[in-house]
A and B are shown apart, each in its own frame.
Chain A
Amino acid sequence: MGITAFIVDDELKSREVLKSLLETFCQEVQVVGMAGNIADSVEAIRKLNPQLVFLDISLKEGDSFQILAQLPKISFEIIFVTAYDEYSVRALKFSGIKCLFKPIDIDELIEAVEEVTSEPGRSNMAYELADGMIKSKFTRIPVITSGGLYFADINDILYFKKDTKGTLIKLVNGDSMLSEKKVHEFAAIILSDKFCQAGINLMVNRDKVIASLTRKDCLVFTNSVELKARPEEVKEVMNPA
């Protein structure tokens, strides 16, 4: 049985081409509808209940996250499509959401369809996570812990450090959070130049480091938190290239 799909793109030609590519190269996909704006998309998706939705990120009147926000539940798989939107793509990658670039590469399209249909079930949380990052312009980063999803203000973070289970995030108020993501994955979504990655296991908010108290093998932070570190890591934080 085929997979029902819906296409959202504000350019008619792009909608037609994607439909044609799917019909030719992904024959298991049956395009049941297409729309070019937010209101029509919301109405049609509700009515048609497709299994897969292709969403152009940037629409004339806004972005496709506005479509998702108007739906009570996301009960379909999503493949985002964009011409070039570096920041949105960073957020989507971090959230584990599939994204294709225009002009569409046929191999990538086939791979994306196979991937989302063979591993269904990306949660509403993934879209909430990507949207939160984009809307805050990456000043708030999502952390999924055993207790749920949190958005941490990057100004409240002292450092990210590798942990056996992922990454330990130390906050200014003394709290810590543990995420399954790796330090380098957080580095990809931190756009602030206040943060310095020292090797692959540590990323530090340099604004929170007290240079005068920092020792050869220990970083000292503004709230008196101390972090043991290798001398080369300390050196990299204190004297970034």
Chain B
Amino acid sequence: MIEALHINNLQSMKAFIGSHFMFNVLNQIQNRFLTGQTKEAVQVLSLYNKMLRHALNTSKTGMTSGTEEWKFLENYLISEQMRFQGDMQYHLTPELIEMGKMPAFILQPIVEATVHASLAIGHIANVQITFIKDAGGMLYQVRGSNTDQNIPEKYRENITRVKERIRIWNEHKMAPISLTENGDTRIIRMTL
């Protein structure tokens, strides 16, 4: 594999595994055990297990299937919803997708940034992620509810990291990926 792409894959995986989010998941497990919510604790542990495995499985090639990425995204959203309880809603449309390979760690960091931008304004965060397949390829639309459009600085780094990943990917692959931002809506187009 091209070295720059391989290094970027590992950096993206490290950024996810070592993220604030993953330690918050561990914290959630502790919280639920200590408050006697054993069933919920086991549920969060199961989500953590699935997300960690997904991250490790993608580390070699940096690729995943669209189906797996969608499940991974749902696991991520469920765990954030469990953490923030009534403060967050999400809609994944459609519920399942059946797609071929795509690069990992492009969609989730964008969704994470959008979730936290939406949470930052103090109302109930509402995040909608829509997948559309057309003749041009695959289109993922991530829409948040932060009309102020300011992403907290820590999560702005997610967008920067994805842009860099896309840049490296586009330098080395024939099928380009693009990310466009319009207010609190971000669109990723993959012509794979």
Contact = CB atoms under 8 A, between A and B. Distances in A.
B32 A84 contact: no
Contacts of B30: 17, 102-104
Contacts of B85: 12
Contacts of B50: none
Interface in B70-95: 83-85, 87
Contact of B35 (A16, A58, A83): A16
Interface of B: 18-24, 26-32, 34-35, 83-85, 87, 116, 119-122, 152, 154
Given A62-B152, A83-B20, A84-B20, A102 B26 contact: yes
15 contacts: A13-B32, A13-B35, A14-B27, A14-B31, A16-B31, A17-B34, A20-B34, A60-B122, A82-B20, A83-B21, A83-B26, A102-B30, A103-B23, A103-B29, A103-B30
Contacts of A13: 28, 31-32, 35
A186 interface: no
Most buried by B among A21, A60, A61: A60
Contact of B19 (A82, A84, A101, A102): A84
Interface string A79-92: 00011110000000
Most buried by A among B24, B27, B121, B122: B27
B119 A85 contact: no
A37 interface: yes
Given A12-B85, A58-B154, A84 B23 contact: yes
